[in-house]
Amino acid sequence: MAGDAAVPVIAIDGPSASGKGTVAQAVARALGFHYLDSGALYRLVALDAMRRGVDLGEERALVAVAGQLDARFADGEVFLGGERATEAIRTEACSAAASRVAAVPGVRAALLDRQRGFRRPPGLVADGRDMGSLVFPDAALKVFLTASLETRAERRHKQLKDKGIAANIQTLLRDLEERDARDAARVVAPLKPAPDARILDTTGLAPDEAAGAVLAWYRGRRQKNGS
C-alpha cells in the first residue's frame, strides 16, 4: 500500500441500509473518483457458493470460492463468470448469505488485496464495513454512517418495493437487528467505526445532504493540509 499513498481514499462504513452506497457513489461522482462497493464482492462470493452448492459453514470451500472469484464491474453493472448478476446479488437470500460469508476470516483475507487493488488515480471512494478500520487504514477521510433501525428498515422496504418485491417491515426490522449483531460480534473486522472516523447520522438527512457533508469534510481536510 505504500506505493499508493499519494492516491486519496475516502472510506465510508456503516451498517446495512445506512445509506453508505448511495452516499459513496454521489461523492465519487462529484470528485471524479473510482468507486468500490466492497459488499458486492462478498455478495458475489455468496452467490457463487450457493450456485455451486457449497455449504456456507465450510470455511475451506468458501475460501476457495473467494480465491477463484470471476467477478467484474463495468458501467454500473456486476458480472459473475461473464453473466450479469446486478440484481441477483441484491436479493434478501443473497444478502443473508453474504452476511454469513463475510464473517469467515479466510474469505476476508482472500478478498483483501482485491479490494486494495481498486485504489487508482485520481482517487477512490470505498464503502463497506471495514474500509477505514482495516482495508484502507491510511484513508484521507474515514466516515461511519449511522441511522435509526426504523429508518433503515423503511429504506430497505422502499428498495424492495421499488423492485416489485413484497416485504414485511417487521421482518426487515428483525433481519437488520440480527445482521447488526452478527456483524458487530464477528472476530475479524467487526462492524465498528475506526478510531479516527467521523460519525454521520443519516436518519433525518436526504442522500444529497449526507453526500454534501462528506464532501465538505474531505475538501476541508484538503484545504487544511494545503493540497
The answer to whether the beta carbons of residues 200 and 18 sit under 8 Å apart is no
What stretch of H or E contains 105?
helix 105-116
The helix (H) or strand (E) run that includes residue 95 is helix 92-102
Task: Identify which has the larger pLDDT, 6 or 43.
Answer: 43
Residues 92 and 157 in one domain: no
Q: Report pLDDT digits (tens) over 73-112.
A: 888 889 999 899 999 998 888 988 998 998 899 999 999 9
Summarize pLDDT for 167-205 with one digit per residue, the tens.
889 999 998 998 888 888 877 778 889 999 999 999 999
User: How confident is the model over 22-38, as pLDDT tens digits?
Assistant: 999 999 999 999 999 99
Residue 122 — φ and ψ, nearest 5°?
A: -85, -10
Asked if residue 48 is part of any domain, the answer here is: yes
Question: What does the alpha-carbon distance between residue 128 and residue 6 come to, in Å, rounded to a whole number?
Answer: 22
- Residues of the chain by 3-state class (helix, strand, coil), percent to 5: 55, 15, 30
> By the 8 A CB rule, do 124 and 34 touch?
yes
Domain end position, chosen among 121, 138, 170? 121
Domain co-membership, 216 together with 162: yes
Claim to verify: residue 107 and residue 67 sit in the same structural domain: yes
Q: Judge if 64 and 131 occupy the same domain.
A: no
Residue-wise pLDDT for 150-169, tens only, equals 999 999 899 888 878 888 89
Both 73 and 133 in one domain: the answer is: no
H/E stretch holding 79 = strand 77-80
H or E element, residue 13: strand 9-13
pLDDT digits (tens, 9 = 90+) for 115-152: 999 999 999 999 999 999 999 999 999 999 999 999 99
Give the structural domain span for 43: 38-121
Do 164 and 49 form a contact (C-beta atoms < 8 A)? no
* CA angle in degrees (0–180, nearest 5) for 90-14-105: 75
Q: Does the pLDDT value for residue 227 go beyond 70?
A: no
- As given in the structure block, the three cell numbers for residue 4 are 499508493
pLDDT of residue 226: 65
What's residue 5's pLDDT?
65
Q: What percent of the chain has pLDDT over 70?
A: 97
Distance CA 59, CA 107 (A): 8
Q: Are 127 and 37 in contact (CB under 8 A)?
A: yes
Does a structural domain hold residue 190?
A: yes
What's the predicted TM-score (pTM) here? 0.87
Same domain, 26 and 42: no
Report the chain's mean pLDDT, rounded to a whole number.
91
The total domain count for the chain is: 2
For the domain that residue 159 is a member of, what is the CATH number? 3.40.50.300
Q: Which residues contact 134 (CB under 8 A, 6 or more apart)?
A: 112, 189
Residue 71 bridge partners (DSSP) = 80
